[in-house]
């Protein structure tokens, strides 16, 4: 952090500051120029912050993480992007990225968040996941506008996994993710969706979010939950789905696949048919064989220009294979 090169700043900004020094021999002018350059460098340096989550709890790394905490305390308004990693660089088991929960509320200008790791850390009894879920609820339509947080958040990625307790990562309290009005890009990996998810959302919230891109991959995707979530965006343009292989030892306890087929999936997509431009479905459970075609005709999907999926397009617009 102490070796940030000035050549990473936009050259026109550096030229503007240096060019403003009327008399290079005037020490006062040089001090003002240095101060301006320092402010520019600081703004660029702390614009995006990458955190190894093991540093929150490990005594050896405690001093290193203290530096990150100081950034959050001294420059909270400068942080626009936060990448919290519980895997890469961790010297023990993969850890929970939700441990950053106590700091999120203090970063008013966050535009994007990425979190990678396990749902919970084995050594901690603290409900960090609940804290993050609560914060996301306060950022959503479930909270009155004057009390919402994270108002600048445009992109959110949650890549969460569990190796020994797969039932932990159900949507549950995190359903407010789909109700953050200004969120434009949402990526969820390792998730389990159930038929009851988002079923109790009032119709007044339908079509009220700005979500443009939705990716749900390596997940258990319930067809009814998919229908419910596709009611919420005003005009979704990009959709990517990848279901885990049905059955097998990795299926979460208590989770059951709804009987579905290409017609059911097509009906869910048709809810955003007028705006969808790209649809990618790399894997979907073929639970029922039915006669209904997976029809992506222009009448229902007028803006669709890219389709890559596991069902043949019955309209013939998109080549198969």
**pLDDT tens-digit readout, 213-251:** 999 998 888 899 999 999 999 999 999 999 876 555 556
127-309: CATH number = 3.80.10
Q: How many CA atoms are closer than 13 Å to the CA of 216, on its beta-carbon side?
A: 19
Q: Region 166-188: what's the mean pLDDT?
A: 87
Measured CA to CA, the distance from residue 236 to residue 225 in angstroms comes to: 16
User: For all residues of the chain together, what is the average pLDDT?
Assistant: 81
Measured CA to CA, the distance from residue 208 to residue 233 in angstroms comes to: 6
pLDDT tier at 162, thresholds 50, 70, 90: low
Measured CA to CA, the distance from residue 225 to residue 217 in angstroms comes to: 14
Residue 240, helix vs strand vs coil = strand
The predicted structure's pLDDT at residue 182? 98
pLDDT tier at 59, thresholds 50, 70, 90: very low
Length of the chain, please? 321
pTM of the complete model:
0.83
The predicted structure's pLDDT at residue 3? 45
Does the pLDDT of residue 53 top 80, yes or no?
Answer: no
For residue 254, count CB atoms less than 10 angstroms from its CB and return exposed for 0-12, middle for 13-18, buried for 19 or more.
Answer: exposed
The predicted structure's pLDDT at residue 258? 65
């Amino acid at each position: 952090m102490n070796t940030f090169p000035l050549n990473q700043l936009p050259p026109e900004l550096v030229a503007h500051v240096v060019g403003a020094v009327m008399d290079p021999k005037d020490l006062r002018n040089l001090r003002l120029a240095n101060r301006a350059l320092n402010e520019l460098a600081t703004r660029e340096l702390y614009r995006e912050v990458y955190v190894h989550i093991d540093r929150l709890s490990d005594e050896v790394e405690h001093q290193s993480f203290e530096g990150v905490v100081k950034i959050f305390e001294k420059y909270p308004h400068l942080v626009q992007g936060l990448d919290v990693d519980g895997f890469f660089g961790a010297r023990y088991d993969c850890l929970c990225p939700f441990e950053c929960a106590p700091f999120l509320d203090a970063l008013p200008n966050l535009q994007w968040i990425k979190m990678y790791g396990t749902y919970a850390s084995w050594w901690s009894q603290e409900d960090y996941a609940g804290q993050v879920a609560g914060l996301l609820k306060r950022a959503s339509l479930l909270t009155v506008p004057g009390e919402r947080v994270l108002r600048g958040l445009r992109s959110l990625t949650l890549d969460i996994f569990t190796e020994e307790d797969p039932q932990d990562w159900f949507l549950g309290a995190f359903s407010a993710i789909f109700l953050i009005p200004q969120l434009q890009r949402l990526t969820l990996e390792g998730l389990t969706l159930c038929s009851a998810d988002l079923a109790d959302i009032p119709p007044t919230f339908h079509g009220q979010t700005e979500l443009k891109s939705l990716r749900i991959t390596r997940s258990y995707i319930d067809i009814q939950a998919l229908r419910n979530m596709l009611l919420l965006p005003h005009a979704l343009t990009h959709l990517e789905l990848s279901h885990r292989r049905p059955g097998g030892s990795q299926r979460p306890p208590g989770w059951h696949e709804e009987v579905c087929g290409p017609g059911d999936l097509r009906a869910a997509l048709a809810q955003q048919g007028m705006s969808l431009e790209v649809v990618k479905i790399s894997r979907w459970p073929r639970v029922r064989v039915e006669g209904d075609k997976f029809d992506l005709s222009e009448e229902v999907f007028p803006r669709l220009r890219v389709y890559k999926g596991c069902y043949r397009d019955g309209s013939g617009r998109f080549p198969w294979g």
